[in-house]
Amino acid sequence: MLFNSLSYLVFFPAVFLLYWWAPQKFRVPLLIVASYLFYMSWKPIYGLLLFGLTAFNFIIGRKLSKVVARNLPTRSRNLLVLGVAVNLLVLGYFKYALFSCDILGKMTAVFGLNLTPAALNIVLPLGISFFVFEFIHYLADVYKGGEPIRSFAKFNLFASFFPTQIAGPIKRYEDFAPQIDQPKRFDLATFDEGVALITHGLFKKVILADTLSIVSQTVFPHPEYLTNFDCWLGVYAFAFQIYYDFSGYTDIARGSAQLLGYKIPINFNAPYMAQSVTDFWHRWHISLSTWLRDYLFIPMGGSRGGLTATCRNLLVTMILGGLWHGAAWHFVIWGAYQGVLLLAHRIWCLVAAKSESLMQIRSSVIYKIIATVCSFHLVCLGWVLFRSEDMRLANLVLRKVLFLEALDRQTSYFALSLPTLHSHIIFQFIVPVLIAMPVLHYLISKPKWTENLLPSMKRQPIFGAVYLAVLICLLLVFSPETTPKFIYFQF
């Protein structure tokens, strides 16, 4: 069930009305049932997988808490290892079994052997990468002395909560669990904010991301037929497509949760305004980047072992982060590329810190503008690795965008392949929006703008109502008959 589907348009209002009509004591069971219906609407059998993992982690968490309280470090460590291992094995089977078989087949073929296992018919369960990370985080925090969730119903809701079930954000139980116990009362201001978030999310997904996908789908499958300019258009299009697609999903998830009385963390903070790749990862997919920092980078040693150890830990973290996104070599290389960029920025910061003149340059406005532009384009080059189906296609696109290969063509294939005048009209509308949104975000971040304009808008709610009405009209007019799945559904 997609957030941008007709079925969700029917499902969520029904859940919303039943939720606020039901007495407090029935609301948690109602959300659990709704969450399982939401998840099982895709493949019912995988509801058993979700329930089984939930029950297993709940039992391990309770046992782990008791062992930690009795100060038995060996037993508690063994329980933690068992819990994490089972979660990773389940994730590994569904997500990496085919990838591992392919590697094994290629390795044995070098020695003239054929040890490739029989073909596996594995369908990746939706959202498994996200809820497995939530389970691991829960067990790790209980191991550190955190208070476990003692009610299975509440733990089940933490694991299955449908707004975050498929593509996050990755919740922290210490933030989510207390909200379950808080009495919920309907609040009109919260309702308005939730509706605005959902509307924004649908606008980002349906109008911006899905329209930009026309360009990226034209460019990436056949870069050999395109000019250098075509490839750059495709790279820019995908950079904004994946941002508006994923941040749109997050807005809908946050809005849906807020309408049910829950708050979930933000996942994006104007990432393309970042002045370094390090800053980019502080702004992009925040729940994942902080998870990788807290439960992978820091446990490996973090920055405590000197520059060499820090570089190793950072590179391993990003490679595994790339592999988390998908079982393919182009994701591994994308993660390694991000790791190298982070290492380069860390070394640059160490060098600049020793020079007063370099520090003055870094504080200048011109440097910040150049740093923002360069960081954006370095991220865009990484998106080539992320978006391409394999390394052969990624190599072709990179050669074009880096002008390592010229194509002697008089006419752009991209210009000839744009479908219909209707798309041209949308593009004429989208380009100003793409330019205006970062500018608007920058202005809102300024105290004077916020203090002067936003209070006046709140005093006159008609402004907000008109704005949302315009977005809804645009959705009704320009919504395509079919819309692609959210990009992060496949992870």
Which residues are part of the catalytic machinery?
325
Per-residue tokens: 130: 């996200």
Per-residue tokens: 314: 């950072």
Which residue's structure tokens are 């498929």?
Answer: 166
Secondary structure class of 261 (helix, strand, coil): coil
DSSP 260: T
Residues 6+ apart with CB under 8 A from 390: 328, 329, 330
Sign of CA dihedral 266, 255, 208, 168: positive
Q: How far is CA 396 from CA 130, 322, 329, 385, 389, in A?
A: 32, 21, 16, 11, 12
- Under 8 Å between Cβ of 57 and 76: no
Per-residue tokens: 141: 């925090």
| Among the listed residues 220, 196, 203, the one whose alpha carbon sits nearest the alpha carbon of residue 426 | 203
Per-residue tokens: 213: 């996908």
Q: How far apart are alpha carbons 10 and 140 in whole angstroms?
A: 38
Q: How far apart are alpha carbons 231 and 239 in whole angstroms?
A: 12
Q: How far apart are alpha carbons 422 and 202 in whole angstroms?
A: 20
The phi, psi pair for 168, rounded to 5°, reads: 80, -160
Q: How far is CA 94 from CA 127, 271, 275, in A?
A: 12, 31, 37
The number of beta carbons lying within 10 Å of the beta carbon of residue 365 is: 7
CB-count burial class (<10 Å; 0-12, 13-18, 19+) for 118: exposed
DSSP 489: G
| Among the listed residues 434, 377, 468, 17, the one whose alpha carbon sits nearest the alpha carbon of residue 241 | 434
Q: How far apart are alpha carbons 177 and 200 in whole angstroms?
A: 27
- Under 8 Å between Cβ of 220 and 397: yes
Sign of CA dihedral 465, 469, 475, 478: negative
Q: How far is CA 127 from CA 130, 270, 294, in A?
A: 5, 24, 21
Per-residue tokens: 155: 């733990």
Sign of CA dihedral 396, 208, 342, 92: negative
